[in-house]
Amino acid sequence: MTDRSPAALAGRLLAGEVGAIARAISILEDGSAGAHEILKAAHAKSGRALLVGVTGAPGAGKSTLVDSLAAAYRVEGRRVGIIAVDPTSAFSGGAVLGDRIRMQRHSSDPGVFIRSMATRGHFGGLSRATSDAADVLDAAGYDVVLIETVGVGQDEVEIVRAADCVLVVLVPGLGDDVQAIKAGLLEIADVYVLNKADREGIDRLESEISMMLSLAADPNGPRPQIVRTVATAGTGVDLVVGAIASAREAAERSGTAIERRRERSRFRLVELVRERILSWAAGDAAGAGALEAAAEAVHRREIDPYEAADRILGAFAARRGKVGP
């Protein structure tokens, strides 16, 4: 019989066992029993993988690009983890379906592990779960972890922002609203991937990006690269792999690589603290009581929301005080 203890599971995931990896990520995602022990083991062995964030507007072809990148890394013999962050699927369950379809494409290759992450409940936790999953894949020996997310929404942008290398995928000829989304992503890019480069408008798109870069770029900082692809045909994917490697090298040389990893630790902690206190306020009996009583008083307009938040925090601190720090 398999030993299903967290310690045994951690051992199996560090050995690269696919079933154990999947189960560990689920436990971390749900925050169920053993989560801390598993994360502790994975985190201690992490720090080796290259984390690549891939983001862009809906319809830019991110999934296809990520799949092609995975294939290119496989040719180099590197193991690839893919984390597809789907902020919408909390409602629709869409992630699971997408997951299955993509799984089939790589099903014969044990060197590729694909996982979709969806939001759970009202209290976020998506970026925390994504970081945890990246640690697991890293510790399990995946050389490259590709984190893919739609580039809209502040949580979603934060998720990729702190990766070792950020690809922003753009396509020619989308509408005005989408242009606005692009604008929101431009400052976080290490590599601009101009996908669907066989389409009309690609030259204009490239000159827009170039112009923007020459206006905005820090003259002393590393200059983001621009690469054209047709991901559906595999065209230009090797150039993207090369651009990632050279962005990575430049970051190591300039010291920004380590600074980003520090920033990632900081952001991750902030997210964890948020989640801890909110799950207390929502789940713990005393916490739930404090939240409900405060919400009811706000609803009746007996107190204002700011005062109510202070009451909840006071209750939290008092309870922590009793247990000890």
- Shortest approach of a second copy to residue 210 CB, angstroms? 17
Does 94 contact a second copy by CB under 8 A? yes
Q: Binding segment for a second copy among 73-81, 199-207, 222-230, 274-282 (CB under 8 A)?
A: 274-282
Does 170 contact a second copy by CB under 8 A? no
Question: CB-wise, 203 or 304, nearer to a second copy?
Answer: 304
Binding mask 251-270 for a second copy (x = CB under 8 A): ----------xx--xxxxxx
Using CB under 8 A, which of 21, 25, 39, 146 touches a second copy? 39
Does 301 contact a second copy by CB under 8 A? yes
Question: CB-wise, 20 or 158, nearer to a second copy?
Answer: 158
Distance of CA 290 to the CA centre of its chain: 32
DSSP assignment, residue 231?
Answer: G
Cα separation, 242 vs 189, whole angstroms: 15
Sheet hosting strand 50-56, strand order edge to edge: 112-118, 80-86, 144-150, 50-56, 165-170, 191-194, 225-228
Cα separation, 15 vs 2, whole angstroms: 15
Does 191 contact a second copy by CB under 8 A? no
- Other CB atoms within 10 Å distance of the CB of residue 295: 13
Using CB under 8 A, which of 67, 158, 164, 190 touches a second copy? 158
Cα separation, 320 vs 57, whole angstroms: 43
Using CB under 8 A, which of 16, 98, 222, 242 touches a second copy? 98
**CB contact at 8 A, 38 and 10:** yes
Using CB under 8 A, which of 72, 82, 188, 231 touches a second copy? 188
